[in-house]
Amino acid sequence: MKVYRYWMDTGVDLRVRGGADAYLRGCPSRDVLDMIGSKWTVLIVPALREGPLRFGELRRRLDGITQKSLTQTLRTLERDGLITRTQYPTIPPRVEYALTDLGLRAVALLAGVRDWAEANLADVLAARAAHDARADS
Amino acid sequence: MKVYRYWMDTGVDLRVRGGADAYLRGCPSRDVLDMIGSKWTVLIVPALREGPLRFGELRRRLDGITQKSLTQTLRTLERDGLITRTQYPTIPPRVEYALTDLGLRAVALLAGVRDWAEANLADVLAARAAHDARADS
DNA sequence: CGGTATCCCCAAGGATACTG
DNA sequence: CAGTATCCTTGGGGATACCG
């Protein structure tokens, strides 16, 4: 793990670690970015913060999501150890999803992203507007 | 901005703010996530931390990147106010890219993501391995 | 209720070639 | 040197239909 210590905060030549492809594919940044970059992850994980939810409850909360996308995202989150899936053998079936400790820590990460957005998004949007106003392209 | 205060840390019914589509498209989470989720942004922004770099220097540092992707990402970052582009009218041309204050603050955000990865990625990978080991699917 | 299975679209990003 | 232009591939995610 330590070999990646400076994977995104330094200017040193990254190629010294064995080639760009190896760097890019091996670097943990991809993993974590793919996780939080997933369209629904950022909504599902915080939604479970207050306690477990059933499949249908999640679907209603994320009103625009399709069954497939919800199932898919939940499976990935379960595989990555962020949530647990508990199935009760009743009829009709009842399935509950809950955050793990790791999932709870992910909420904290997302909170960091949220805080950055709240603090800086106005600047981003202003810069974008100013740039677009200079529509000399 | 305040209307989005709880865009990713609460369990309240998000639909109260006018429907899921409006929520999803209007929510700042998309903007910031698209920014940091871009494949090359997380490498370009920190690369400029030590000081300005020329186009070719960036390309060599991000060894696997294509000219198109580099140009594209730099244009987006410039539009969002994270970097500046300075062109010197010499022959051959010389173009330098540098972080703005906003860009510097983005480095801090990326550092937060990095810190999370360093602290928790081992758990994610372990969970994934354990899940895959139960290959009863 | 809580899924699978299938088809489809489209935008991000790579490969390649050309230029002021 | 620092790009633009063009073509092409890939896969995330939506729509729809069916199932234990």
Confidence of residue A114 (pLDDT cuts 50, 70, 90): confident
Cα B41 to Cα B11, B45, B77, B106, B117: the distances in Å are 31, 6, 8, 10, 17
The mean predicted confidence, pLDDT, of chain B is 81
Q: Where are the domains of chain A?
A: 1-27, 37-136
Query: In this complex, is the C-beta atom of B123 within 8 Å of any C-beta atom belonging to chain A?
Result: yes
Q: Which CATH architecture has domain A37-136?
A: Orthogonal Bundle (1.10)
Nearest to A47 by CA among A31, A55, A58: A58
The answer to whether A23 and A14 have CB atoms below 8 angstroms apart is yes
Instruction: Read off the pLDDT of residues B71-100 as tens digits, 9 standing for 90 and up.
Output: 999 999 999 999 999 999 999 999 999 999
pLDDT at residue A21 is higher than 60: no
| Residues making up chain B, counted from first to last | 137
pLDDT at residue B13 is higher than 80: no
**A107: which chain B residues are within 8 Å (Cβ-Cβ)?**
9
The answer to whether B88 and B94 have CB atoms below 8 angstroms apart is yes
- Sheet strands side by side (includes B94-99): B53-54, B94-99, B83-88
Helix (H), strand (E) at residue A99: strand A94-99
When pLDDT is averaged across residues B24-35 and rounded to a whole number, the result is 69
Confidence of residue B135 (pLDDT cuts 50, 70, 90): low
Strand ranges, E, within B52-125? 53-54, 83-88, 94-99
Cα A61 to Cα A38, A43, B14, B63: the distances in Å are 17, 9, 7, 43
Note whether A112 contacts B110, CB cutoff 8 Å: no
- Sheet strands side by side (includes A94-99): A53-54, A94-99, A83-88
**A29: which chain B residues are within 8 Å (Cβ-Cβ)?**
42-43, 113-114, 117
pLDDT at residue A57 is higher than 70: yes
**Looking at residue B78, what is its pLDDT?**
96
In DSSP notation, A7-69 reads TTT--S-GGGGT-HHHHHHH-HHHHHHHHHHSTTHHHHHHHTTTS-EEHHHHHHHSTT--HHH
Cβ-nearest to B21 among A13, A64, A128: A64
Does residue A67 approach strand C to less than 7 Å at its CB? yes
pLDDT at residue B7 is higher than 80: no
Confidence of residue B38 (pLDDT cuts 50, 70, 90): confident
**B36: which chain A residues are within 8 Å (Cβ-Cβ)?**
33, 37, 113
Does residue B90 approach strand C to less than 7 Å at its CB? no
pLDDT at residue A20 is higher than 70: no
- In B, residues 49-108, which contact A (CB 8 Å cutoff)? 49-51, 53, 61-64, 78-82, 102, 105-108
Distance from CA of A95 to the nearest CA of B (A): 18
**Looking at residue A62, what is its pLDDT?**
87
Helix (H), strand (E) at residue A87: strand A83-88
**Looking at residue B63, what is its pLDDT?**
80
Distance between CA B125 and CA B103 in Å, rounded?
A: 31
Distance between CA B114 and CA A32 in Å, rounded?
A: 8
pLDDT at residue B3 is higher than 80: no
Instruction: Read off the pLDDT of residues A69-86 as tens digits, 9 standing for 90 and up.
Output: 999 999 999 999 999 999
pLDDT at residue B110 is higher than 70: yes
When pLDDT is averaged across residues B120-129 and rounded to a whole number, the result is 91
List alpha helices for B38-100, DSSP H. Answer: 41-47, 55-61, 67-79
The mean predicted confidence, pLDDT, of chain A is 81
Q: Match 């990555």 to its residue by tokens.
A: A80
Distance from CA of B90 to the nearest CA of A (A): 22
**Looking at residue A55, what is its pLDDT?**
97
Does residue A137 approach strand D to less than 7 Å at its CB? no
